[in-house]
């Protein structure tokens, strides 16, 4: 939520921040910034029918960075003391090969993000532990009511309330308040010796009421229970190349793994991505247009500003199959001479800024989802996925289905056990032959890992048909 955060909240005056920047901006330093962060995280979790764990964590600190050409000097501290700033400045100086500071930096102009994508009254960010406990108790009861074969329900509710302020050597001081929450449910179903698992969850930069609106939390509970029960009757997944229909929403993880990471500017500046030098080239079929959009209200991947203070935007990555843009942070945009897209993100003050995705999705097409399924003689229909991973350099990516069905003669038939799908990023989207008119965004559960840093992201997809992809089942 957008409000003017005073630096004094972090125990610093604006003058001190200014001095720190002065000290950092030595000769040969192109850019420096201070990232102040204060974060309160709370979680409650339940299992075996009782809410037995509650935790709260508070962290506060500052990350100090200076860049010179391709080089970055970085230091961080949980205390903003003179000594720590000296260490930071020394690190910065070291990379810049410069003996001491000289160039003064402009006095930062204080501004606030120009919009508020996740307005929330402060009072609403505070949720009494008792209310969280009640939410989880209702979830447990609902999941068990769904089917007596549900033998255990594990649910957790996490909230985070983050204040950030960024002071930069290019003259801005900007702040944001970033609430985030997530409800996650896992059910274990048992039928004699057959035990299966099902999961569901959701969230975003939303207040607590979100989960109770229309009993959304109970819907999540039923979905998790349904998936676990369904998997009790799942048959072995097929192995080999076949057509695959992906349902809308969370299966958009395909885009995140297959192309999103490969379009992050750092890999392309270093020419280590399978997508390096493919701008302007065809990397997908004509029916595919893919964007990264950090401006969707209340979404898990959305931000008023990125972690360098740049307002987020909506970047068209692929337009009708042609690769248009990489996603950038300040360092990579400057070094590559390409537009700044507002994708400079970091996990926390202890980590460096990297170009990262926000909400990545494919725009709706024109096909009827039913027609898409009917067009497949024998293949797989995948509805939900666990995680995915990509090798940026050779472009090979995987993502693993947690709910999938066989398609036989144009009809969805038996549920199959989870299987990993594997493909090649720059090729896979050229095999997308149909795109549904039913674009769906995921429910707000995605966390993306890169260089050991986790950040919240979103994905989205209409129903699509991939003419062929390798499915890693066990059945020939």
Partner 1 sequence: MSKKSLSPSQTANGFAQLAADVLARAKSCGATEADIVVADGETFSVQVRVGAVDRLTKAREKRLGLRVFIGKRSATTSTSDFSQDSLERLVADTCTLAGAVVEDEVSGLPDAVQMATDQPSLDLYDETVLDTETQIDWAKRGEAAAFAADSRVTNSEGAEFDSSSGRVVLANSHGFVGSYKSSNFSLSVSPIATESGTGAMQRDAWYEVQRKFARLASAESIGQEAARRAVRRLGARKVATKRVPVVFDQETAGSLLANLCSAVSGYGLYKRASFLLDKLSQTIASDLITVHDDGRMVGGLGSRPFDGEGLATRKNTIVERGVLKSYLLDTYSGKKLGLPSTGNASRSVGESPSVGPTNFYLVPGMKSAQEIIASVKDGLYVTELIGFGINMVTGDYSRGASGFWIENGELAYPVEEITIAGNLKQMFKDIEVIGSDLVFRGRIASPTLKISEMMVAGN
Instruction: Single out the residue of 420, 430, 433, 453 in contact with partner 1 (rule: CB under 8 A).
Output: 420
Q: What is the 3-state secondary structure (H, E, C) of 130-187?
A: HHHHHHHHHHHHHHHHHCCCEEEEEEEEEEEEEEEEEEECCCEEEEEEEEEEEEEEEE
Residues 223-282 that bind partner 1 (CB under 8 A): 237, 239-241, 270-272, 274
Least distance CB 237 / partner 1 (angstroms):
7
Question: Strand pairing partners for 321?
Answer: none
Residues 6+ apart with CB under 8 A from 339: 325, 328, 333
Least distance CB 284 / partner 1 (angstroms):
18
Asked if 443 touches partner 1 (CB under 8 A), the answer is no
Question: Strand pairing partners for 40?
Answer: 58, 161
- Interacting span for partner 1 (CB under 8 A) from 103-111, 204-212, 361-369, 421-429: 421-429
- Interacting span for partner 1 (CB under 8 A) from 210-218, 289-297, 368-376, 417-425: 417-425
Phi/psi of residue 429, each to 5°?
-75, -15
- Interacting span for partner 1 (CB under 8 A) from 157-165, 167-175, 188-196, 212-220: 188-196
CA distance 457 to 182: 12
Contact yes or no for 461/255 (Cβ under 8 A): yes
Residues 6+ apart with CB under 8 A from 5: 163, 164, 165, 175, 176, 177
Least distance CB 146 / partner 1 (angstroms):
17
Closest CB to partner 1 among 100 and 271?
A: 271
Nearest to 234, CA basis, from 198, 201, 200: 198
Least distance CB 220 / partner 1 (angstroms):
19
Closest CB to partner 1 among 305 and 383?
A: 383
Least distance CB 275 / partner 1 (angstroms):
11
Asked if 6 touches partner 1 (CB under 8 A), the answer is no
Least distance CB 459 / partner 1 (angstroms):
16
Asked if 162 touches partner 1 (CB under 8 A), the answer is no
Asked if 291 touches partner 1 (CB under 8 A), the answer is no
Torsion of CA 296, 319, 385, 355, to 10 degrees: -60
- Interacting span for partner 1 (CB under 8 A) from 55-63, 103-111, 297-305, 313-321: 55-63
Please list the alpha-helical segments (H only) found in 327-456: 330-336, 369-374, 425-428
Both tokens of residue 373?
A: 């399924």
Number of residues that bind partner 1 (CB under 8 A): 81
Residues 324-363 that bind partner 1 (CB under 8 A): 350, 352
- If 0-12 CB within 10 Å is exposed, 13-18 middle and 19+ buried, where does residue 24 land? buried
Both tokens of residue 109?
A: 């102009």
Question: Strand pairing partners for 435?
Answer: 464
Asked if 19 touches partner 1 (CB under 8 A), the answer is no
Instruction: Single out the residue of 75, 105, 143, 283 in contact with partner 1 (rule: CB under 8 A).
Output: 75
Asked if 147 touches partner 1 (CB under 8 A), the answer is no
Instruction: Single out the residue of 85, 127, 154, 466 in contact with partner 1 (rule: CB under 8 A).
Output: 154
Least distance CB 305 / partner 1 (angstroms):
23
Least distance CB 153 / partner 1 (angstroms):
10
Asked if 134 touches partner 1 (CB under 8 A), the answer is no
CA distance 424 to 188: 34
- Interacting span for partner 1 (CB under 8 A) from 89-97, 172-180, 205-213, 404-412: 89-97
- Interacting span for partner 1 (CB under 8 A) from 15-23, 82-90, 167-175, 453-461: 82-90
Beta strands (DSSP E) in 268-333 are 290-293, 314-319, 322-323
Phi/psi of residue 291, each to 5°?
-125, 160
Closest CB to partner 1 among 396 and 431?
A: 396
Asked if 430 touches partner 1 (CB under 8 A), the answer is no
Closest CB to partner 1 among 73 and 248?
A: 73
């Amino acid at each position: 939520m957008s409000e003017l955060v005073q630096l004094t909240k972090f125990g610093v005056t604006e003058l001190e921040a200014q001095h720190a920047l002065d000290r950092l901006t030595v000769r040969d330093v192109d850019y420096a910034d201070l990232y102040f962060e204060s974060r309160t995280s709370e979680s409650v979790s339940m299992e075996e029918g009782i809410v037995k764990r509650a935790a709260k964590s508070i962290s506060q600190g500052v990350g100090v960075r200076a860049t010179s050409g391709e080089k970055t000097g970085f230091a961080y501290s949980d205390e903003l003391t003179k000594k720590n700033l000296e260490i930071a400045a020394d690190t910065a100086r070291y990379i810049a090969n410069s003996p001491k500071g000289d160039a003064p930096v402009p006095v930062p102009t204080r501004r606030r993000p120009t919009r508020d994508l996740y307005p929330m009254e402060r009072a609403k960010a505070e949720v009494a532990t008792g209310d969280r406990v009640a939410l989880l108790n209702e979830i447990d009861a609902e999941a068990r009511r769904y089917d007596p074969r549900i033998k255990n329900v594990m649910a957790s509710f996490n909230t985070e309330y983050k204040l950030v302020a960024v002071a930069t050597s290019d003259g801005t001081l900007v702040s944001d308040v970033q609430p985030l929450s997530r409800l996650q449910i896992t059910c274990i179903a048992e039928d004699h010796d057959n035990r299966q698992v099902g999961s569901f969850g959701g969230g975003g930069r939303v207040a607590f009421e979100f989960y109770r609106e229309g009993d959304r939390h109970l819907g999540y509970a039923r979905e998790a229970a349904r998936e676990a029960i369904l998997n009790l009757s799942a048959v072995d997944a097929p192995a080999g190349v076949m057509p695959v229909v992906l349902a809308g929403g969370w299966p958009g993880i395909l885009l995140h793994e297959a192309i999103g990471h490969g379009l992050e500017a750092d890999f392309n500046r270093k020419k280590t991505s399978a997508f390096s030098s493919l701008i302007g080239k065809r990397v997908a079929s004509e029916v595919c247009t893919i964007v990264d959009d950090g401006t969707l209200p209340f979404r898990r991947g959305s931000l008023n500003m990125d972690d360098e203070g740049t307002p987020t935007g909506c970047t068209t990555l692929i337009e009708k199959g042609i690769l248009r843009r990489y996603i950038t942070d300040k360092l990579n945009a400057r070094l590559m001479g390409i537009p700044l897209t507002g994708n400079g993100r970091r996990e926390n003050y202890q980590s460096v800024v990297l170009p990262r995705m926000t909400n990545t999705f494919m725009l709706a097409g024109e096909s009827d989802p039913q027609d898409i399924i009917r067009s497949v003689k024998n293949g797989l229909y995948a509805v939900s996925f666990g995680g995915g991973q990509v090798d940026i350099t050779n472009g090979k990516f995987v993502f693993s289905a947690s709910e999938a069905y066989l398609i036989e003669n144009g009809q969805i038939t038996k549920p199959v056990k989870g299987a990993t799908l594997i493909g090649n990023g720059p090729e896979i989207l050229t095999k997308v032959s149909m795109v549904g008119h039913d674009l769906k965004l995921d429910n707000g559960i995605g966390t993306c890992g890169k260089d050991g840093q986790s950040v919240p992201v979103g994905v989205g997809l209409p129903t699509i048909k991939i003419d062929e992809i390798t499915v890693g089942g066990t059945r020939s």
